[in-house]
Amino acid sequence: MRDPAPEPSQEQVTRRNGGRLVTSVATGTWAPLTLTLMVTVAGSVTALALPAVLAGTVDAVVAGRNTLPATRNLALLLVGMTLLDIASVVAGAACVASAVVSLRMRLVGRLLAASAVEAARFPTGELVNRLVSNTATTAYVPVTLLRTAVGVITSAGGVVALFTIDWRVGTAFLAGVPLTLVVIRLLFTRMSGLYDDYQAAQGRLATRLTETLAGIRTVRAAGTVDREISRVLDPLPELSAAGQALWKVQSRSVWQLALMLPLIEVFVLGVAGFGVAEGRLEPGALLAAAGYTTLALAFVGQIESLMDVAYGRSAAQRVCQVLALPVLAPGSVPLAAGPGTLSFRGVTVTREGGPLLDGIDLEIPAGAMTAVVGPSGAGKTTLALLAGRLADPDRGQVLLDGQILGEVDPASLRSAVAYAFERPALLGGDIASAIAYGNATSGIEEVRAAASAAHVDDVIRRLPAGYRTPAAEAPLSGGEIQRLGLARALLPRARLTILDDATSSLDTATEAQVTSALVEGMRGRTRLVIAHRPATAARADLVVWLEAGRIRAQGTHRELWRDPAYRALFASEPAALAGRDRSPITVPAATRPDHAVQNQEESCPATP
């Protein structure tokens, strides 16, 4: 299976890419699709044979000839038709099912391989919608197109059959077709744009609901549930209007068709009846003419399928936007053993015009604890993301023990680098699995040890089912979740541990305990700590002071403390709030899975 779009930017994701995705889905499921095609074609052949055989049988009946052979043939044909019909349905479902699986796994694969920064552009609700709903809609498109195509060919066969009855009958039919086509084409173009409007309105509503659910504690405390409900529902009139517009277009076009088609039918029957009257045709020909006219007009019924296709293409585009996310190309070189020296060489990250990090050259000494401080927007979080290759720099290199991170194979990089976040997402099931997430082979003793080191063991023991309590259902505070995330980072005993504001929700006492664990308990391992408290910086071996994407100074906390501007970082009106004119890289921070919806609009830039 091939990728539909070689890394186009978000803006370039156009209708064309949606089409390409559909093509690749079709190629991916070629086997069941071919089977569907074969049985559908066979089914349409029997459908084309039916009116003629039926007419022959009726003629035999009317003429008083021996009817048994004709009736037997008819019966066989009907049985064959039923069986082919069943085969077509089952094969079609198989196509859809495997297309959905392949689309969803491609989407998941892309999201898991993408840089965390890029994936965070989509709110979680959007991602879920694309994974569950848009993929399903897209997966139907190849089968629908195939059935439509066969339907159109069958219709053409019906026309040919009308001509074989009598050229006059065929001509009578064709006379009505051009106008019908014009009406259909109009309908199709009108509908496509309207579907986009409709989906956009739906999206706005969903976004508002997600927002409200994220702030539900405030809503609850303020007693503003009713107001929130009406706020979420604000875009409803737009949705309604788009829906009404869809109906209007249908009403306008469908009634024209509903008038035109039966008139064609009656016209054809009239011409055939004339043939019967003149003795050129037998009475059965009327049946055949009626049957073939129905078949020939069946292409009109494909309009709705084409609407589904239009709908499916909109969905395909939405899937494409995710598949177009740039991935972090995995390296292949195993990471050699080393003490854990981290180096930044000319590292620059640009976002929306401005640099987030601007030519950073920095050595993080092995085995030491380095604190990164600076006002919000200085680039601290970006630095942390680069340090363990959750994102790649636009220019420059990040090296761990002399090896460029981008070249190191992901498995060995992950075992060498661990992360703890301000708002960790607890994944994997129960608390023990959440701590061992990504280290599935760890035993419960190791998990306990990590939890103790993060000062969260006693909290876990107090939970209803201890370590076996489902993480999603455990009543945990922000600080407790943060410590669980910390335990997860401590578990692998990684060469380099990166803590991005990972203790911000801890109260002073707990943070002091945790900091001791970082200082004493992890002695000899490299630690990069994004800090906004002087106490943390004070205990670090080295402090790196970032400002506006550059290193303003580095040294020990004691040395830097002499600079009033440094002291101001911790104690004065933050320049950050006034001077932040561009957004930092934001990453969806997660607390716990059942609060997932609320996390998607959270960001975790290092706040002062």
Partner 1 sequence: MPGHSVTSTRSRTAVASPAGDHAQAAWRTLAELLRPRRRPLAAAAAWSLVEAAPALLSGLLIATAVDRGFLIGRPAAGLAWLALLGLTMAVRAVATRQMFPHLAAVIEPLRDDLVRAVVAATVTRASTGGEAPDGAAVTRLTQQVETLRNLMAGMLRNSRELGVSMVAALAGLLLLSPSAAVIIGGPVLVALISFARLLRLLVVRQRDLVIAGETLTAEATPILAGLRDVAASGAQAQAQDALRSLVAAQAAATRALAWAGTSRRLVVTLGAHVPLIGLLLAAPPLIEHGYLTAGEVVGVVIYLSTGLEPTLRTLLGTVGSWGVSLTVTLRRITEAITFSPEPPIRHRPAVGSEVVCLPAADDLETDVLTFAYSPEATPVVRDLSLTIGEGEHLAVVGPSGIGKSTLAMLLTGLLEPTSGQVRLGGVPLATVPERHLRTVMALVPQEAYVFAGTVRENLAYLCPERETAGDERLGAAVEAVGADALVERLGGLDGTIDEPSVLSAGERQLITLARTYASSARIVILDEATCHLDPAAEARAEQAFAVREGTLIVIAHRISSAARAGRILLIDSTSALAGTHTELISRSPLYADLVGHWHDGPHGHDRRLAGGI
Residues within window 314-333 making contact with partner 1, judged by CB under 8 A: none
- Strand-by-strand arrangement of the 496-500 sheet: 417-421, 496-500, 526-530, 369-373, 542-547, 550-555
Residue 608 near partner 1 by CB under 8 A? yes
Q: Which of 35, 205 has the CB closer to partner 1?
A: 205
**Segment contacting partner 1 (CB under 8 A): 143-151, 187-195, 212-220, 332-340?**
212-220
**Segment contacting partner 1 (CB under 8 A): 88-96, 149-157, 158-166, 176-184?**
88-96
Residue 353 near partner 1 by CB under 8 A? no
Q: Which of 159, 576 has the CB closer to partner 1?
A: 576
**Segment contacting partner 1 (CB under 8 A): 34-42, 149-157, 441-449, 575-583?**
575-583
Separation between Cα atoms, residue 103 and residue 458, nearest integer Å = 44
Strand partners, 399: 343, 404
Smallest separation (angstroms) from partner 1 to the CB of 483: 7
Q: Where are the beta strands (DSSP E) in 454-525?
A: 496-500
User: Using CB under 8 A as the criterion, what x/- string covers residues 222-251 for binding partner 1?
Assistant: xxxx--xx-xxx--x--xx--xx--xx-xx
Segment 134-193, which members bind partner 1 (CB under 8 A)?
none
Q: Which of 42, 359 has the CB closer to partner 1?
A: 42
Per-residue tokens: 341: 């020296």
Q: Which of 89, 160 has the CB closer to partner 1?
A: 89
Residue 334 near partner 1 by CB under 8 A? no
Residue 336 near partner 1 by CB under 8 A? no
Q: Which of 145, 173, 161 is nearest to 297 (CA)?
A: 173
- Member of 26, 200, 254, 368 binding partner 1 (CB under 8 A): 254
Smallest separation (angstroms) from partner 1 to the CB of 226: 8
Segment 430-459, which members bind partner 1 (CB under 8 A)?
437-440, 459
Q: Which of 6, 64 has the CB closer to partner 1?
A: 64
- Member of 9, 332, 441, 508 binding partner 1 (CB under 8 A): 508
Separation between Cα atoms, residue 74 and residue 59, nearest integer Å = 13
Separation between Cα atoms, residue 449 and residue 483, nearest integer Å = 13
In the chain, the amino acid numbered 54 is: L
Residue 26 near partner 1 by CB under 8 A? no
Q: Which of 53, 278, 44, 71 is nearest to 166 (CA)?
A: 278
Residue 306 near partner 1 by CB under 8 A? no
**Segment contacting partner 1 (CB under 8 A): 79-87, 188-196, 332-340, 363-371?**
79-87
Segment 416-435, which members bind partner 1 (CB under 8 A)?
418-419, 421, 424-428
Smallest separation (angstroms) from partner 1 to the CB of 487: 12
Q: Which of 224, 350 has the CB closer to partner 1?
A: 224
Q: 562 CB contacts (<8 Å, ≥6 apart)? A: none
CA distances from 103 to 34, 94, 109, 138, 249 (A): 19, 14, 10, 9, 32
Per-residue tokens: 603: 């960001």
Q: Which of 8, 107, 119, 582 is nearest to 391 (CA)?
A: 119
Residue 73 near partner 1 by CB under 8 A? no
The number of residues in the chain equals 608
- Strand-by-strand arrangement of the 395-400 sheet: 354-364, 342-351, 395-400, 403-404
**Segment contacting partner 1 (CB under 8 A): 75-83, 334-342, 445-453, 547-555?**
75-83
Segment 470-489, which members bind partner 1 (CB under 8 A)?
472-480, 483, 485, 488
Smallest separation (angstroms) from partner 1 to the CB of 407: 17
CA distances from 359 to 390, 498, 584 (A): 19, 21, 17
* CB of 455 closer than 8 Å to CB of 517: yes
